Amino acid sequence: MPPVLPERKPIDDVLSEDQILEGMDTAKYVFTDISFNIPHRVGRKLTAPLIFKEENLKMVFSQDRHEDVLDLCLVQFEPDSSDFIRIYAQKESQRSGYIELALQAHEQTAAKSASA
């Protein structure tokens, strides 16, 4: 499991403005691959899968499939993205809820066995 990082700040830096290229094409967008020697992330989707919606996460977490969600989360998001941090925090709150319920059940069982 990667460490939970602080959320990254948006990057709005303009790296270069090439006036010589102005007017050469009518396209509004330029796509540049700057990832030389960086392997592509296999399995990452352009839009996040529906499993990461709040209502779907609640259902999957209730099925005790935390590890599956976190595996998918690691493929889809970077550890410092807001989505990764949101999903990890929700998983942790679910986990603490389960621990609390287990402790309550244990206390009730202990109380019943002590009174019997």
Residue carrying structure tokens 């935390």: 66
CA distance 1 to 75: 12
Q: What angle, 0 to 180 degrees and rounded to 10, lies between the N-to-C axes of helices 54-62 and 82-115?
A: 40
What's the confidence (pLDDT) of residue 56?
A: 93
Angle (CA) 16 21 23, round 5°: 130
User: Which two three-digit tokens encode residue 106?
Assistant: 């244990």
Split at pLDDT 50, 70, 90, the class of 37 is low
Q: Rounded to two decimals, what is the model's pTM?
A: 0.58
Whether the pLDDT of residue 76 is over 70: the answer is yes
CB contact at 8 A, 50 and 27: no
Q: pLDDT averaged over the chain?
A: 81
